[in-house]
Amino acid sequence: MRRDDAMHYLKVVCGVACFLILASNVWSMSRWSEARGVYDDVCYLRQAHLFQRFGLGGLDTDISRDDDRYLSAKLKEIGFPTWSDAATAPCHTPMVATKKLVMQYPPGTGLVLALFPQGFQVIPLYVLATVIVFGFALLAVFYARSRSSILLTGAFGCLAIYLMINPAKASYSIAPTMVVCVLAGYLTARCSLPSGGSTVCSWRGSSVS
């Protein structure tokens, strides 16, 4: 078997391995619930709800904007003891100067969640993010030019995809952050390539020559 054929089959094997992990992740994600009793989850979903209601005005997270009782309903759903008392809502900080009770979370996660329909936001967010990471993993395997680099990129690709379910499930902010990280890694590698000749660049910690 020629060297080029062997490398081609090795890339196919790595790609299949990444796909199998992707399929396993998607199957597991399809059974997730948005009401798992984590306060951060509720607050990210409230941020998304505000963006869906007010557009960019959703950046204002004052508790007084919960006039539709969305937050109260979510807190009741997870069994929060004082769900009907807005003053005790988790993740909200009193601002003495403005006399407002607001969330001080970075709005990016809520903005991404707002792209999906209410009640079905977390699963599509994670599935989409995982598919994007899978795409970059295949891209890295494709660009690998030696057996060792193929194996390394394949291993790191499989690991990156697996991380989308554990520990990324711990916080809704991790999924979009992972996408930003792989995109930054890819762009860094591309920008480090010279206009001609060969080079060695890094992709998520692996060498591609």
Which tens digits make up the pLDDT trace of 27-43?
Answer: 999 999 888 888 999 99
Q: What is the mean pLDDT of the chain?
A: 88
Q: Within 13 A of 200's CA, how many CA atoms are on the CB side?
A: 5
Full-model pTM? 0.85
- What does the angle CA 7 – CA 13 – CA 15 come to, to the nearest 5 degrees? 100
- pLDDT band of residue 132 (cuts 50, 70, 90) is very high
| Whole-angstrom distance, CA of residue 30 vs CA of residue 166 | 15
* Amino acid identity for residue 128 in this structure: L
Max Cα distance, the chain (Å) = 74
pLDDT at 192 over 80: no
Residue with tokens 């759903």: 77
**CA dist., res. 140 & res. 154, Å (int):** 8
- 103 has which bridge partners? 92
